[in-house]
Amino acid sequence: MSEATTTPALKPKDYKGRLPPVWCPGCGDFGVLAAMQRALAELAIAPEDTVFISGIGCSSRFPHFMNAYGFHSCHGRALPVAVGAKLAQPERTVITVGGDGDGMAIGGGHFLHAARRNPDITYVMMDNEIYGLTKGQASPTSELGLKTKSTPFSNEETSSDTPLNPLALAIMAGATFVARGYSGKMKELVELTKQAIEHEGYAFLQVISPCVTFHDIYERARAQQKELVPEHDPSDKVAAITAAMGEPFITGVFYQEQRTTLEGAQANLVKSAEAGLDRGMAATAAAIRAEAGLQ
Ligand SMILES: Cc1ncc(C[n+]2csc(CCOP(=O)(O)OP(=O)(O)O)c2C)c(N)n1
Ligand code: SF4
Ligand SMILES: [Mg+2]
């Protein structure tokens, strides 16, 4: 009997962790979790083949609520941990999860460098434009002049903190799949999550995921959310950056390209080193001298 007939189809509930989510009722992150569980079930990626890696924040508690391998790491350090996990076990599906503070403030350097190396991992950033876990400080994606616990005197005249644009940064840094979803739009979010996971290379998915307790942007998101125009061409980098710099609640796939992955490049490096060993030391030294024009 074939394996397909003996293996029962996976269901979203198969990915539910033993711990129930501890998020505030109404938090956007519930939608992201549900979309992820549906996406993995539809892609039939088994829980034991999946690894979730997060930093620190409300959103970074995500791995606890999944039935999969998980690592709740350090603030801003989820991406290097995820890249290490992927290099060690390339056969697993590695998914990084976290918040705007984790990814764009303390993790800002890793955000750029992970993208340019194109590891075959997915990064889902739950963007609520605030630090939720620490009770409402401004984040790098907070709108200009937002008054928060860490910016109590802010308004558009007393603040110069221009928000970062995660989508535009990801495209410029070299991410090969860049998309935005909204936690209140489940069907589209499931599709975007599936596409991000299926993409071979570094996939960045920003999800507008409102914090109902410290900075409720639901009203703004509901009023302004719309999909990318159907004629948008995700292979056109300039068009993708232009769209990313436009209205903030547009959802869809902004950019996609195929490029050598980090794991592919590393495998080639190992092959070329092994070929060098096979040639022997003297032949390798001669080849290096010839390459450098020294003989
Ligand atoms: C090294 C370090 N610095 C600061 C903190 C405090 N801290 C914990 S979570 C957080 C920000 C979380 O914001 P975000 O990543 O947007 O997640 P959210 O809670 O909004 O989902 C900060 C500053 C920490 N835990 N570790
Ligand atoms: S504080 Fe905000 S981000 Fe954290 S769980 Fe509550 S609603 Fe969600
Ligand atoms: Mg946040």
Domain spans of the chain?
12-259, 260-295
Kind and range of the H or E run holding 222: helix 218-224
Span 166-170, mean pLDDT? 98
Question: Residue 295: is its pLDDT beyond 70?
Answer: no
Question: Residue 288: is its pLDDT beyond 90?
Answer: no
Q: How far is the CA of 139 from the centre of ligand 3 (A)?
A: 7
What is the per-residue pLDDT for 238?
98
Among protein residues, the one with the nearest Cα to ligand 2's atom 6 is 24
Q: How confident is the model at residue 131 (pLDDT cuts 50, 70, 90)?
A: very high
Task: Considering only residues 71 and 289, tell me which one the structure prediction assigns the higher pLDDT.
Answer: 71
Ramachandran region, residue 30 (left: φ > 0; alpha: ψ -120 to 50; beta: rest): alpha
pTM: 0.93
- The chain-wide mean pLDDT, for the chain, equals 95
Q: What is the chain's length?
A: 295
Q: Rounded to whole angstroms, how far apart are CA atoms 282 and 247?
A: 61
Residue with tokens 């990084």: 96
SS3 269: helix
Span 109-116, mean pLDDT? 98
Q: What is the DSSP letter of 102?
A: I
Q: Is the CB of 107 under 6 A from ligand 1?
A: no
- What's the one-letter identity of residue 98? G
Residue with tokens 């290490």: 84
What is the per-residue pLDDT for 80?
98
What is the per-residue pLDDT for 6?
61
Q: How far is the CA of 277 from the centre of ligand 1 (A)?
A: 47
Task: Give the model confidence (pLDDT) of 28-86 as tens digits.
Answer: 999 999 999 999 999 999 999 999 999 999 999 999 999 999 999 999 999 999 999 99
Question: Residue 5: is its pLDDT beyond 70?
Answer: no
Handedness of CA 34, 37, 41, 44 (dihedral sign): positive
Q: How confident is the model at residue 2 (pLDDT cuts 50, 70, 90)?
A: very low
Ligand 2 site-directed mutation target among 134, 207, 208, 212, most atoms within 8 Å of CB: 212
Q: Is the CB of 120 under 6 A from ligand 1?
A: no
Question: Residue 3: is its pLDDT beyond 60?
Answer: no
What is the per-residue pLDDT for 1?
41
Instruction: Count Cβ atoms below 10 Å from residue 39 Cβ, excluding itself.
Output: 24
Q: How far is the CA of 23 from the centre of ligand 2 (A)?
A: 6
CATH of 12-259, one of 3.20.20.70, 3.90.1150.10, 3.40.50.970, 3.50.7.10: 3.40.50.970
Among protein residues, the one with the nearest Cα to ligand 2's atom 2 is 211
Q: How confident is the model at residue 170 (pLDDT cuts 50, 70, 90)?
A: very high
Ligand 2 site-directed mutation target among 23, 32, 142, 215, most atoms within 8 Å of CB: 23
Task: Give the model confidence (pLDDT) of 214-265 as tens digits.
Answer: 999 999 999 999 999 999 999 999 999 999 999 999 999 999 999 999 999 9
Instruction: Count Cβ atoms below 10 Å from residue 224 Cβ, excluding itself.
Output: 14
Judge residue 21's burial from the number of C-beta atoms within 10 Å of its C-beta, 0-12 exposed, 13-18 middle, 19 or more buried.
middle
Among protein residues, the one with the nearest Cα to ligand 2's atom 5 is 23
Question: Residue 20: is its pLDDT beyond 80?
Answer: yes
